[in-house]
Amino acid sequence: MAALTDRIRQLREEALAAVAAAESTAALEQARVRYLGRSAELTEIKKSIGRLPPEERRAVGREANEASREIQRALQERTGQLAAAERARRLREEAVDITLPGYPFQKGSLHPTQRIIEEVVDFFVGLGYRVAEGPEVETDYYNFTALNIPPDHPARLMQATFFLDEGLVLRTHTSPVQVRTMLSQEPPVYVVVPGRVYRRDSDPTHTPMFNQIEGLAVDRGLTLAHLKGTLAAMARHVFGDAVKVRLRPSYFQFTEPSVELDVSCFVCGGSDAGCKVCKGAGWLEMLGAGMVDPAVLEEVGYDPEEYTGFAFGMGPDRMAMVRYGVPDLRLFFEGDLRFLRQF
């Protein structure tokens, strides 16, 4: 028995020395397997205790168990030490000098057209209007027929509209959303409709795709005075309190009477004949509007004897051109950061 207990003590000392000398988790694992693994000598001694004489089993078992516990404690302690050393090493290697200047952030900003869209939409939402949206690929009915646009109207020509298969078109205005809204609910209706529209046009003041914001109000007792007051308030919201507005007679298939709204030139106020913004006229054309044609109301099932309404449509791209003095509409669509960073 003495020889066996002496061997257990010897194995314990060897194991503790191996654990203390381990400089990595891999070396520590090797020491564990060597002294506590399934095939380790100490494990074999513990397995053989049952074959010892009864009077020796307790002493040998106690010695073997104490050796195993002590080695386990040493392994756990050394594991903690190695982990702490590894954390310290990584912190040293990954240390950041907080006194160094940081990397500058590239600040983003809204596109100038998007700014106009959000300002206009926020204004009408504040008046109680609801934002409405619809498909950009439309049927002939919603894009033309329901809006009182006859079959021989120039807007239906191939030179003006992108026609697709099966009687579909890329919408030329957001007015189809107004029709869909009226067909889906009873009056009163107050909606503002922002979205992309498409026309076969490209020059410094026109692009094949552009943004549009339209609005529709249908209720009892609405008049042209309500339309003018609403648009004047919107113009002051976007261009400032000093802006003046005027209405000029115009013609649109889906409104009667129809008007165009001009705003006073906020650069010269009409006092500079050489003004590059208004060309000396003192006024800037801004949007088209009018009272909803009774034929349109009848088409969607509204009684024009009971309800009246007004509609308006504006181009936020053109409004951004006017507001920021940009000479070519195409600059808004080219994605040139040198241009966009000016805003």
Residues in the annotated binding site for Mg(2+): 256
CA-to-CA separations, 338 to 23, 204, 305, 315, in angstroms, rounded = 57, 19, 55, 24
**Is there a contact between 282 and 270 (Cβ–Cβ < 8 Å)?**
yes
48 dihedral zone (left: phi>0; alpha: psi -120 to 50; beta): alpha
Q: How many Å apart are CA 201 and CA 1, to the nearest integer?
A: 105
Residues of each annotated binding site:
256
Collapse the DSSP code of 306 into the 3-class scheme (helix H, G, I; strand E, B; otherwise coil) and give the result.
coil
Q: Six-digit token pair at 202?
A: 């490209």
CA distance 5 to 66: 11
Rg, the chain, Cα only: 41
Sign of CA dihedral 32, 36, 42, 44: negative
Structure-block tokens of residue 104: 């500058």
Which residues is 17 bridged to in the sheet? none
Cα–Cα distance for residue pair 203/205, rounded to 1 Å: 5
Q: In whole angstroms, what is the distance from residue 186 CA to residue 170 CA?
A: 27
Longest Cα–Cα distance of the chain, Å, equals 122
* DSSP string for 106-129: ------HHHHHHHHHHHHHHHTT-
The b/e string for 77-112 (b: 16+ C-beta within 10 A; e otherwise) is: ebbeebeeeeeeeeeeeeeeeeeeeeeeeeeeeeeb
**Torsion from C-alpha of 24, 27, 28, 31, nearest 10 degrees:** -170
Chain position carrying tokens 């309190």: 241
